[in-house]
Structure 1
């Protein structure tokens, strides 16, 4: 099977080159591909990634590498929104030594943001990253192309980090590429100190997932 494995590895390497070409830092706000690659670079070997729904989360699925079995938890083929906080709570309690991340779209975060109260009260230090592009982008992409209207898709650039702070967590904002690494480092430090963290990352528009169908 050596030749077959080599072909698969070569295909993966070619795909990595394609992804890297899409990761150029944005002039305004943050390229989601760039953000995901930089998050991947700082993951600990014991990290658990919890993927709630959203275009940002789907981007992460292409660009971030779980460090081992049972290190990537998502809702499965039906894409049920809102699993993020519950999955992360269970993962962190089962493996308290593991750095636990939640990846949210700015639509899906609304389903379980209030669980930051649970994280804070019970001392469960997860790190949540919200890809905030003010849109249900995974739906809007095909809806606009097929139906010519984005009705029901626009969202606000909400201060999700402030909501997390109100529940007793620590909030950060990433508004430009230069802020990514300092904020990730500060978030990891806060989590090590026992605090739940939410990073509100303002995303620029990309064509990375053009052609995907979710509507």
Structure 2
């Protein structure tokens, strides 16, 4: 193929399955836009670079494929760093291509002259500058392969002006699937024996099970060994809520009594109490050696292809002890917690409590709706009350905890799934990070529903600080702000809800609107999520 550096880069990415570009316009990357026009690749542009990267990350995570964000030089790159870091923590194969000031004039003070690579290297799997137009194809191909190899993650390349604008002729290689590591069979056997022979085993599955498309193997495993399953992140929806091995609300009870806990496809981080499961033996199963916990003594720790590991575990069903009494005891605890949650989700209070919002939302969401969490306390309640019934229906910022993902994730989800409901759950604090990008959604005809839990405070900080110090500072927002009017002013629509009885009709109008629509729910600022996780 003969073309500019932009032509060659995009053709290489298309060979790896990249189908769209997310960007904020900048002159340093014009050849990439020109290539997209010529190669019929849709361009989705935004109002802040982090939104472009978040949108690309949503496509990478939900679609299990590489995605593309294009950033202009200097501030374009630095504006995207929080989103790139989020992709690193989530293992998302996002390819970030950036402009760069000309090499031949480096040091003379060109516009937006900055060496991006040392900044991006710590938060990517690979960061480099392409120094020759003829090297673009091989460098981009290598970067994508690194992004897709276990453990997945973002990659970064910047293209100096003379490299991306110049022309060259080179062949576009065929995409090659990354090599797969087979788990050590002895380590798998050790894990299987522990789980099968345990009296009170528990499995906790996370986002990498989704990334590996290993849900069928996970179901086969827990059904063969008859083990209760809990999930977090994009592991949610692994089993339908009606399945007798699907549990969500009794995790603390289960871990307190378990004798073996297997954590699959997620780190032993603050979300799981850093793997401190009392007297239980810990099994950690991940896709790459780099993901194994080093701060916990594990009884077994196979790593490699998760589908293969789970299928191999299922083959040890002949060793299985009787777990039915254990399952029944957890079901009793689960049912009691579900009954309590049901009461909370139907409670008539003034002001509205977040639980009631989710009670109404459960009735409004389709089974295949993609729900996106972007917030602190308000979104924590979503994890408690919403139960996805299938994989690929839940998206949150992951362990990095970055606010402002909402509009980017919504854009990526809508592009990937044009026929499904997309619902963004926003705290009013999170809304301040990205709400201007509603204009990007409106302009590009990407309708989504936003539900804003508006309590007028930074709830995740205000309540803990007051408990620790007896007072709080820097934790109040203006109460009752009309975020719905912001969305309307940007071309969408919305309304404010103050009474619980108004929630259902408002949500119905939102999902029928056909434009970005924000339901601004004034919630009780005194209602604090009962948090148990520690920062460290």
TM over 0.5: yes
Structure 2 equivalent of residue 40 of structure 1? 362
Question: What residue in structure 2 maps to residue 162 of structure 1?
Answer: 485
- Matching of residues 49-198 of structure 1 within 5 Å: 49-156=371-478, 157-190=480-513, 194-198=514-518
* TM-superposed deviation, 1:20: 2.5
Deviation at 1:205, TM superposition (A): 4.0
Q: 2:520 aligns with which of 181, 194, 200?
A: 200
Asked whether the 8 Å contact 1:54–1:106 carries over to 2, the reply is no
Secondary structure of the residue aligned to 2:335 is helix
How many Å separate the matches in 1 of 2:329 and 2:390?
Answer: 22
Say whether the 8 Å CA contact 1:31–1:206 is kept in structure 2: no
Question: Whose Rg is larger?
Answer: 2
Deviation at 1:12, TM superposition (A): 2.3
Q: Would you say the 8 A contact 1:101–1:126 is kept in 2? A: yes
Number of residue pairs matched by the alignment: 211
Native 8 Å contact 2:459 2:528 kept in 1: no
Matches of 1:56 and 1:138 in 2, distance apart?
Answer: 9
Query: Alpha carbon RMSD of aligned pairs, Å?
Result: 1.7
Q: Give the secondary-structure state (helix, strand or coil) at the position aligned to 2:399.
A: coil
Unaligned stretches of 5+ residues in structure 2: 1-225, 227-322
Gaps of 5+ in 1: none
1:70-91 CA distances to partner (integer Å, 9 max, x unpaired)? Answer: 1100011221111111111101
CA distance in 1, matches of 2:476, 2:465: 12
2:429 and 2:333 map into 1 onto residues whose CA distance is 33
Closer/same/farther in 2, CA of residues 214 and 98 from structure 1, 3 Å limit = farther
For 2:415 and 2:395, the matched residues in 1 are separated by: 14
Could you tell me which residue of structure 1 aligns to residue 277 of structure 2? none
Name the CA distance, whole Å, in 2 between partners of 1:158 and 1:168: 18
TM-score (structure 2 length as normaliser): 0.38
Question: Displacement of 1:126 after TM fit?
Answer: 0.4
CA-CA distance at 1:208 after TM superposition: 5.8
Distance 1:17 1:214 in 2: 27
Supply the distance in 2 between the matched residues of 1:18 and 1:79 (Cα, whole angstroms): 28
Q: Deviations over 1:135-192 (max 9, x none)?
A: 01111111001012221111112110000001100111111111111101111110xx
TM-superposition CA deviations, 1:42-80 (whole Å, max 9, x none): 111120000012211101110012231111000112211
Tell me if 1:17 matches 2:339: yes
